[in-house]
Amino acid sequence: MSTRPPGQGPASRVLGPAVERDPDDVRPNRVPRRVFRKLLPYFRPYAARTILTIALMVMVALTGLAGPALAQVAIDRGITAGDEAVLVAVVVVFVLAGLVGWLAGYWQSYLSGWVGERVLLDLRTKLFDHMMGLELGHHERQPTGRSVSRLTNDVEAVNMLVTDGATSLVVNGLTFLGAVGILLWYDWKLALAAFAIFPLLALGTGIFRVRSTRAYRHTRERVADVMSHLQENISGIRVVQGHGRQDQARREFIRVNRDYREANMETVRVSGVYFPGVELLAALGTALILYYGGNRVLDEDLTVGVMVAFIGYLGTFFDPIQQLSQLYNTFQSAVAALEKIFGVLETEPELTSAPGAPDLPPVAGAVRLEGVSFGYGREYVLHDVDLDIAAGETVALVGPTGAGKSTLAKLIARLYDPDEGRVLVDGHDLRMVSVPSLRAQLGIVPQEGHLFGGSIADNLRFARPGATDEDLRAALGMVGALEFVDSLPDGLDTDVQERGSRLSAGQRQLLSFARALVADPRLLILDEATSSIDLRSERRIEQALDTLLAGRTAIVIAHRLSTIRRADRIVVVEDGRVAEQGTHDDLMARGGRYAGLYSDWERAAA
Amino acid sequence: MRTLIRLLAFLRPYRGRVILTALTAVGLMVCTVTLPYLTGRVIDDVLTGRQEDALTPIVIAVVVVGVVRFGLAFVRRYMAGWVSLAVEFDLRERMFGHLQRLSFAYFDRMPVGQLMSRATSDLQTVRFFLGYGLIFLFMHAFTLVLVSAILFWINPLLAALSLLIGPAMVAVAARSSRRSHPVLVDAQQKVGEMTQTAEESIVGVRVIKAFGQEDAQGERFAERSRAAFLRSMDANRLQAFYQPLMGFLPVLGLAVVLLVGGVLTIEGSMSLGEFVEFYLYLTLLMWPFRSIGMLVGNAQRAVASGQRIFEVLDATPDLDERPDARPLPAGGGHVRLEGVRFGYDPDRPVLDGFDLDIPAGRTIALIGATGSGKSTLTQLIPRYYDPQGGRVLLDGADVRDLRLDDLRRAVGMVSQEPFLFSATIRDNIAYGVPGAAEDAVLAAARLAQADPFIRALPEGYDTVVGERGYTLSGGQRQRLAIARAVVTDPRVLVLDEATASVDASTEREISDALRAVMAGRTTIIIAHRLSTIALADEIVLVDGGRPAARGTHDELYAMSALYREIHDQGLARPTDLVGREA
Ligand SMILES: Nc1ncnc2c1ncn2[C@@H]1O[C@H](COP(=O)(O)OP(=O)(O)O)[C@@H](O)[C@H]1O
Ligand SMILES: Nc1ncnc2c1ncn2[C@@H]1O[C@H](COP(=O)(O)OP(=O)(O)O)[C@@H](O)[C@H]1O
Ligand SMILES: [Mg+2]
Ligand SMILES: [Mg+2]
């Protein structure tokens, strides 16, 4: 099964992430227009402001263009003609144009910032809500870093384009076009002479686009490698240090880091040729104008003012090209980011209720699985499971690890939907009722109890924000954690830190348990909820549960006999099937799997 | 300022290149300044002065200057890019290397997200400043001096008048950056909080879903996003005010030139060529004036980021190896704790005067209440933490005197919530022994009873486990962790509730295998099940930060009321229990 030539062992490649690509990093360029069309609806609520912003951009561009033209008038009609009145008038207009440009610039800058950020705020919250709505399976397939990146880096990349980029695009585009128009209007012959450098410019820009697209994509991929390597090595730093693998990890990181640096050097090279190249062309253009224009001035065919204006506009003509090319990278990153964002937004949640599904009415808690089959991937983990749990009953699921006990629990909580068959609560198919109404009546203590950074009280209140401190203390008391919480310097307000890392594993479990109790559910699912808790505490919890569970349905997954024996019924799960079920005595009498399991307990204890 | 100097030190290895960049920048500016001069010559000498044959040489000069400028600009960009990437590489490498040496206590305090943002976005800010910002600052300053000198040379009066806007611009730039800086920092902070919420929500999505809190969490996130939006709008308003203002001030300077210069030209005290030259030179200054404000802002941000980076780099590895650390002495894994006192917060000791001696090759079980310090105790042996009092000895040597890598390789830890890398199962098992032979990996997997389930996976040992191993069931993860520890053949093996999520049958099989593994090495077992505890030669009951009792099961049962209580309430043999309850 596992054959691998020697020397290609894990040493040659330390860990996966370094070579993992972000598969969502699609090639941009292909469909930018389509992507932007999808973004358009987000602007609709702010249509008036958007239009105003664009109008202001036009004004900014126009006042910018007015400068050289006014200078030309000043030189030709004022200075050369020796007319001071004209000169003064021109200067006044010049300053006025500047003032208008300033005011327009203020409003334009503010509004475009506002619209851009506002649109992205909407996009971001929508994206987040959508992500929360996606089924658990989706999140298990996606590394955390990637999802977080969608919400942060990717939205940020779009932000760069929408706020600065759009302004730059409109202003520079208009300036460029305006400069071309003005030059043609002044003197079309001289203009055409200056435009002689166009083909070269177009060719250079074309090559630049192709090469820089490639270089930037490469760089983005390498950056992603660096990020995931960092992320995993920092999250797993305790394992790295615990195994004395620092040097190895460091060597590996240097490799990833160097790859990134080399990829990025290519972008430096590409723009190192292109941008100075554009300036070179600008110098050539100046030379052309000086030569051809100079000769024509000598022939009295052209005024000095026009020639100076030409040289002035040549700048307003190359600047926008440079700016727009600079923008190209921003543009590409934004397209790539938008593709990824819409990729998530267009992922249909697999786990939806029928549209307008009614709320689940308050339930008694009878659970029924009918012919349920389910798999995370290609292969089924559960096969044709039938199970009936009466309201108020406590059922223990036992069986080997990997048998599918947790999976079964997750199906009942509707964290997944079965591939075949159905799950019913009080006769309601879970797919036919709204999800929040189901979850509101259900409490699950998952095997991996996760605490959020923040205070103990915040964590406990998670499922029921309205719970009073008394409720919290009652729940803590029930799981026997009250003493320990009270012994902390800040009591309920103690910050447990990221993932609850300030607590021992057992304490985390206790809090996760208490959190489910605060929710006060009709249906309680305990998935190895006490595996890391010492026996005395567990004993106390069990006694508390006896009262707590009265009248509620409970599904308990555990490996300890004392817990299992308390259940009304024991269900043995094996290889994704219900192997047998009944009370302890029934099952012992039958002499089947459970009896076997039981004898293992006995022997182990002997 | 100190931060700035420390940041500059990162340029030291590349001194040569930095100087080269500066020199090309100077050349570049000289070229750029030459062009308006040549234009002026065309107007004055050729057009006004009617020296027609001077036109061609001047035009050729323009082309030559253009080509030279191209060469210089390429070199400047290339060098600046090179240096900036080199600095980024060095800084990141330093940071990564340093993080590898920091103690567990440091990572207990520092959220992953914080470290990530320092190693990425803060680093970018610094690199842009060191690589490009400094050069631009230099270039602009140089241009300012050079062009101002030329302006004064052409016409001192006009120069003085038009340069009046200079101080105004610098003042506006300074004021703008002073006002925006705190707002920007705060906006960044808000963005950070939003990121934190995003990260937490994705990591905790199981819990959010299990309690149907998607909407509430969405509201929480929206609130953070809105706060970030509002704060960045404050920054936006400031920026919208100052930037166009910076665009407007130069217009005033140009207007002065047009008006005064125009009048001077009309009066004949200035030539038309000089006037045009002057005008073009002044436009050359607009960009530096505008940018200096921006660059000062960049410098401030770089210093702020630098501070955040140095905060990490300055964290002393309080658990560093001694310079004269020695290799592991020969031995069979004799562990000894002498009067150990330790607390994560030194004022609240978890262990208080803990004495324990475990002869080489022995297996002991630690039992005790949740939070009594069992896990903490075991973490002192491989020096994940250092005790505040007393000492820990391995084979007679204080662990603080030993080489850290040796020590940690000698102690195999299977922790309560094992962290798996998103790599193949094979790489995860072989983690502690890079290049482990296939046989060793298989043997370890078999020993941990992981082989059967691994083989049942579609891709066997090449299956990539998802992030943190969440695609495996709890018991499967634990078995991989056991295999990972066993493969290193450690002197001391710590099993911290390593089989808590494993069913009785599997556990019995693991126990059988473990008996073989434990032979010849010291083993510490933490467990709550009698079946597991039964593997131990002796049991130590931890209570109140000390060993409350120690002995075999029978001894303890006779000796300790606490043990009796625990035993009777849960550890008891099933038959006892059934018998009593029946
Ligand atoms: N999120 C997941 N993605 C893919 N496979 C999974 C996932 N969770 C569990 N499995 C697989 O499904 C099987 C059943 O797992 P589970 O229900 O967790 O077992 P247990 O009975 O120990 O609780 C195991 O083989 C496990 O590897
Ligand atoms: N990283 C940490 N930072 C601060 N306090 C901790 C940390 N880890 C554990 N503690 C505290 O130390 C005590 C002992 O924890 P631990 O040794 O994990 O207990 P257990 O006996 O359950 O293994 C607990 O009160 C816990 O809250
Ligand atoms: Mg499970
Ligand atoms: Mg522990």
Please enumerate in sequence order all residues whose Cβ is within 8 A of that of A227, keeping only pairs 6 or more positions apart, or say none: A145, A149, B116, B120
Q: What percent of chain A has pLDDT over 90?
A: 23
CB distance from A109 to chain B under 8 Å?
yes
pLDDT at A13 (0 to 100): 28
Burial of B163 (0-12, 13-18, 19+ CB in 10 A): buried
Q: Other CB atoms closer than 10 Å to residue A355's CB: what's the count?
A: 5
The mean-pLDDT minimum among A288-292, A445-449, A581-585 falls in A445-449
- List of chain B residues with pLDDT < 70: 293, 467-470, 569-582
Residue corresponding to tokens 């340029």: B11
A273 pLDDT band (50/70/90 cuts)? very high
CA atoms within a 13 Å half-sphere pointing along the CA-CB vector of A489: 6
Q: Find residues 122-141 of chain A whose CB sits inside 8 Å of chain B.
A: 124-125, 128-129, 131-133, 136, 139-141
Q: For the sheet with B335-342, list strands across it.
A: B351-358, B335-342, B389-394, B397-398
User: Nearest C-alpha of chain A: how many angstroms from B145?
Assistant: 22
Closest chain B CA to residue A104: B244
Q: Which domains does chain B have, with CATH numbers?
A: 2-313 (1.20.1560.10), 319-410+536-582 (3.40.50.300)
Query: Is the CATH code 1.10.10.10 the one for domain A25-345?
Result: no
Q: State the Cα–Cα distance between residues A150 and A156, nearest whole angstrom.
A: 9
Whether A249 lines ligand 2, by a CB cut-off of 6 Å, is no
Mean pLDDT of chain A: 83
| pLDDT tens-digit readout, A58-97 | 888 888 888 778 887 888 888 888 788 888 888 899 889 8
pLDDT at A451 (0 to 100): 87
Q: Cβ B434–A16 below 8 Å, yes or no?
A: no
Query: Is the CATH code 3.40.50.1000 the one for domain A365-441+524-531+555-606?
Result: no
pLDDT at B401 (0 to 100): 92
Whether B379 lines ligand 2, by a CB cut-off of 6 Å, is no
pLDDT at A11 (0 to 100): 30
Name the phi and psi angles at A391, rounded to 5. Answer: -60, 135
Residue B288 near residue B144 (C-beta atoms within 8 A): yes
Nearest CA to ligand 1 atom 27: B472
Domain boundaries, chain A: 25-345, 365-441+524-531+555-606
Residue A215 near residue A267 (C-beta atoms within 8 A): yes
Of A57, A64, A44, A42, nearest to A107 by C-alpha is A57
Count, in order, helices (H) and strands (E) of chain A: 23, 10
Nearest CA to ligand 2 atom 1: A502
Q: Could you tell me how many CB contacts below 8 A there are between chain A and chain B?
A: 552
pLDDT at B250 (0 to 100): 80
pLDDT at A30 (0 to 100): 53
| Residue B129 tokens, joined | 């400043």
Model pTM? Answer: 0.81
* Residue B108 alpha carbon to ligand 4 centre in Å: 16
Question: Counting every residue, how long is chain B?
Answer: 582
| pLDDT tens-digit readout, A333-348 | 888 888 889 988 988 8
The one-character DSSP state at B12 is: G
Residue B494 near residue B335 (C-beta atoms within 8 A): no
Q: Is A582 helix (H, G, I), strand (E, B) or coil?
A: strand
pLDDT at A555 (0 to 100): 93
pLDDT at B73 (0 to 100): 92
Q: State the Cα–Cα distance between residues A412 and A428, nearest whole angstrom.
A: 12
Closest chain A CA to residue B270: A79
Q: State the Cα–Cα distance between residues A42 and A301, nearest whole angstrom.
A: 54
Residues with CB under 6 A from ligand 1: A 140, 376, 381, 399, 401-407; B 470-473, 475-476
pLDDT at A71 (0 to 100): 80
| pLDDT tens-digit readout, A201-210 | 889 988 988 8
Q: Where are the alpha helices (DSSP H) in B381-537?
A: 404-410, 425-429, 438-447, 451-456, 474-486, 504-518, 530-533
pLDDT at A26 (0 to 100): 43
| Residue B24 tokens, joined | 């090309």
CB distance from A42 to chain B under 8 Å?
no
Residue A509 near residue A533 (C-beta atoms within 8 A): yes
The mean-pLDDT minimum among A15-29, A451-465, B509-523 falls in A15-29
Q: Cβ A265–B81 below 8 Å, yes or no?
A: yes
Burial of B487 (0-12, 13-18, 19+ CB in 10 A): buried
Could you say which of B416, B419, B504 has the minimum Cβ distance to residue A505? B416
Strand bridging mode B363-368 / B522-526: parallel
Q: What is the DSSP string of A77-126?
A: IIIITT-HHHHHHHHHHHHHHHHHHHHHHHHHHHHHHHHHHHHHHHHHHH
| pLDDT tens-digit readout, A592-606 | 888 887 887 766 554
CB distance from A241 to chain B under 8 Å?
yes
Nearest CA to ligand 1 atom 1: B471
What mean pLDDT is predicted for residues A189-206?
A: 87
Which of residues A547 and B430 earns the better pLDDT score? Answer: B430
CB distance from B216 to chain A under 8 Å?
yes
A25-345 matches A365-441+524-531+555-606 in fold:
no
Interhelix angle B134-154/B272-313, nearest 10 degrees: 160
CB distance from B280 to chain A under 8 Å?
yes
Mean pLDDT of chain B: 85
Q: State the Cα–Cα distance between residues B3 and A513, nearest whole angstrom.
A: 48
Strand bridging mode B538-543 / B363-368: parallel
| Residue B205 tokens, joined | 């999505």
* Residue B402 alpha carbon to ligand 3 centre in Å: 40
| Residue A511 tokens, joined | 């809090």
Residue A136 near residue A415 (C-beta atoms within 8 A): yes
Q: State the Cα–Cα distance between residues B382 and B400, nearest whole angstrom.
A: 10
Tell me which of B53, B203, B208, B370 to substitute to probe the interface with A (most A C-beta atoms closer than 10 Å). Answer: B370
User: Nearest C-alpha of chain A: how many angstroms from B390?
Assistant: 22
Q: Other CB atoms closer than 10 Å to residue B491's CB: what's the count?
A: 23
* Chain centroid offset of residue A403 CA: 33
pLDDT at B211 (0 to 100): 78
